Structure 1
Amino acid sequence: MPVVFRSEGFRFHFYSDEGNPRESIHIHVAQAGADAKFWLFPEVLLAYNRGFDARTIRRLQDIVSDHRSEIEEAWNEYFG
């Protein structure tokens, strides 16, 4: 599970096996038993949320938006 970065106590990562065929670029976010997934394109959009409150999801979406190019670069490097 490649970790792209950590911020504010959250782990932003993707899984080594992201489906066959591979899903579009996205990022998983985890912290203390909660997790969420965000699509990056065409805009940052919540795919699912398991355990985060609405305020935290808004904050996570902002963090993902701020790191969008970094996430895309890490994805492309890993999955080539």
Structure 2
Amino acid sequence: MHVLGPDGEAKFWLEPEIELAKNHQLSDIQLSKVKKIVEDHRDELISAWDSYFRN
């Protein structure tokens, strides 16, 4: 999953576990906040991904 912000961007893998794939200029605090949001909504994000790319 790609995350874009005004200060930079990051990419997280959602499966098999949530993992930071790359980071470009997001601070540790920003990454922590984004990771928490991804963790809280992981199932919804995977479902949306599946609906978009597998249908």
Q: TM-score, normalised by structure 2?
A: 0.89
**1 or 2, which has the higher strand percentage?**
1
Segments of 4+ moved more than 3 angstroms: none
Q: Which ranges in structure 1 are unaligned for 5 or more consecutive residues? A: 1-26
Give the structure 2 partner of residue 54 of structure 1.
28
1:64 pairs with one of 29, 33, 38: 38
Cα distance in structure 2, aligned partners of 1:33 and 1:62: 18
Cα distance in structure 2, aligned partners of 1:57 and 1:50: 10
**1 or 2, which has the higher helix percentage?**
2
Cα distance in structure 2, aligned partners of 1:43 and 1:63: 14
SS in 2 for 1:36: strand
How far 1:59 moved relative to its partner? 1.0
Number of paired residues? 54
Give the structure 2 partner of residue 35 of structure 1.
9
- Given that residues 9 and 25 in structure 2 are in contact (C-alpha distance below 8 angstroms), is that contact kept between their aligned partners in structure 1? yes
Identity %: 41
How far 1:55 moved relative to its partner? 1.1
RMSD (CA atoms): 1.0
Give the structure 2 partner of residue 79 of structure 1.
53
